[in-house]
Amino acid sequence: MIQPVVFYRALSFYIGVPLVIGLAFGFSQSGMLAPLLRKPVSIIYWITLLLVLWALYEICSRLAARALKRYRPPLWLILVVGSLIQTPLGAIYIGLHQRFFAAFLPEPNAFAHLSFGSLQTMLLEYPRMLLQNAVPMAIWLGVNYFFDRLVGMPRFRHAAPELSTPPRAPEPSPPVNEPSVVPQPRLVSRLPDAVQGEIRSISALDHYLQVTTDNGSAVVHGRLAEAIADMPKDCGWQVHRSHWVHRAAIKRLLVDQQKYRLERSDGVIVPVSNRYVELLKAAGFKPQPMPRKT
C-alpha cells in the first residue's frame, strides 16, 4: 500500500509542478499561439502542453537512467541526457499541439504567418531546438534536485547490489551499558543464516539495502526509512540520507574542510550530512581531523 506522504510527493511532482507552470504561462498568454487565443483556451493550451512535456521528460530521463545504470552516473548527467532525448520528441509534440489548438483561434487566418514545420525540418534544426529548450531543461534539473535533496523524493538513484561477504569473526562484545537490542528487528530474519546477528549499519543502494551485522553483510530488498523505523530506539542514528549506523559501530567522527565523515569500526568511511553533525557531537563524538594519506 502506498504511504500518504509518498503519494502526495509524487502528486506534487508529476501533476502539481506542471499545473502551476501551465497556469502561470496560460494566464500571461506566453508564446506564439497563446496570445491569439482567448484566455481560458490559453490556460487549457498551456496546462495540457506542460503535462505532456513533463511526462516526456520523465520517460526520457528514465530511459537515460536505465542506459547509464552500469556507470552509476550522477543525477545531473541522467537529467541532461534525458533532456537531450526529450528535445526532438517535445518539439514534434509542440507542433502537433499547436496545430490542434489553432482550430480555436477567433480568426481562422490569424496564425497563418507562423510555420509549423515538418518532421524533417524539426530534426534538422536540432541545435536550435536545444537552445529553445534551455529554460525548460533548467527547470527540469532544478525541480528534480529540489525534490531529491529537500523534499525527500529519491530521483533516479542507481547502485549495483554488492555480493554477500563471507562471515567474519565476531567482534568484541559491546559495553555493558549499551542499549539492549530487544526485540530483534524484522530485517535480521531476512538475512542469510550465516550473516544474522546484531545490525551494525544499513546503507541504501537504490531499491536495496546493504546490511552489515557482527557476523558479516548481505544485500536485501527494502527501503532505508522502513528499516530505520524498525530498529530499536536510541541504538544508533541516521547520519546521511543513505546511511544508518549503530552507535557501537562508530569508531570516530572525522572532519576535513567543513566536510564530515564517520569511520565505522570495520574501517568503512561514510559521509555525514550537516543536519546530523550536532546530533553526533551531543552523543559525545568529537570531530577529529581527517588523517592525511601518505
Q: CA 285, CA 45: separation in Å to the nearest integer? A: 57
Yes or no: say if 151 and 33 are a contact pair by the CB < 8 Å rule: no
Residue 173 placed within a domain = no
Last residue of a domain, one of 106, 126, 151: 151
Closest CA to 114 of 133, 127, 101, 124: 101
Residue 199 placed within a domain = yes
Residues 146 and 191 grouped into a single domain? no
Last residue of a domain, one of 151, 174, 194: 151
Domain that holds residue 217: 186-289
Structurally, the chain folds into a number of domains equal to 2
Tens digits of pLDDT across the chain (294 residues) = 456 777 888 899 999 999 999 899 989 988 888 888 889 999 999 999 999 999 999 999 999 999 998 888 899 999 999 999 988 888 888 888 888 988 888 765 555 444 545 556 655 676 777 777 788 889 999 999 999 888 878 888 644 444 444 556 556 655 555 544 456 788 888 888 888 888 889 998 888 888 999 888 888 888 888 888 888 877 888 889 889 999 888 888 888 877 888 888 888 888 998 888 888 888 888 888 887 765
Question: What CA–CA distances, in Å, run from 154 to 35, 145, 159?
Answer: 38, 9, 13
User: What CATH number is given to the structural domain containing 192?
Assistant: 2.40.50.1020
